Amino acid sequence: MKIKYYSKTGEEKKSEKIAGNLRFECSDIAINEYIKYLNNQKRNLIAKVLDRSEVRGGGRKPWKQKGTGNARVGSNRSPIWRGGGITFGPTGNNNYKTNLNKKEIKNIKIAIIKRFAEANKLIIINKLSEISISTKNAEKLLQKIGLDGKITLVLKNRQNNAYKSFINLSYIDLLTVNKLDFSKIVSSDCLIFEEEAYRELVK
């Protein structure tokens, strides 16, 4: 299991075994649980309905208890009335968050990266931050390496030419090594690291 290194011009330079501390196996179930955990962290609780205590009105009894022939009713805020409160609807306080321990999260992250290496979909590009600022040249670089589909590119930081060159390509997700979004990574066809970012990840 080796990782291919390319120059910033798209030429293959060498192959190297994946770092020892990036070798960990985990099941598909564990990865799915982790992605579910990430999505729950991002989830915004925007759905909310009004129950009968929050609906406006209903202070007066609609009609007297007896003698009208109608069913007994105490308030027009009743859930069975149109415009009344909603029963068992979302309250805005629903808790969808799940928990995973830190060690398990770390191991799953490592396993995800290792799977890209096993599939020969983990690429390292040397001195990527030194390329000229050009979206056209950035696209040519990917074509020369032979990459297509959805790509995640991990940079050391955003303050470089690589970020400005790749940001306009719709099929690329740009991440920094200290802010890896694994929900985007697992949905990618290929994972590219700037060499400096990869070295920092290994540390």
**pLDDT tens digit sequence for 179-200:** 899 999 999 999 999 989 888 8
pLDDT in tens, 109-166: 989 999 998 888 999 999 888 888 899 999 999 999 988 899 999 998 888 888 999 9
pTM summary value = 0.76
Q: Which residues pair with 174 in a beta bridge?
A: 153
On whether the CB atoms of residues 34 and 105 are closer than 8 A, the answer is: yes
Architecture of domain 2-43+97-202 in CATH? 3-Layer(aba) Sandwich (3.40)
Least confident of 19-28, 67-76, 145-154: 19-28
> Is residue 27 scored above 90 in pLDDT?
no
Domain assignments of the chain as residue spans, ordered by start: 2-43+97-202, 45-95
Instruction: Write down the H helix ranges in 63-186.
Output: 102-118, 135-145, 161-166, 182-185
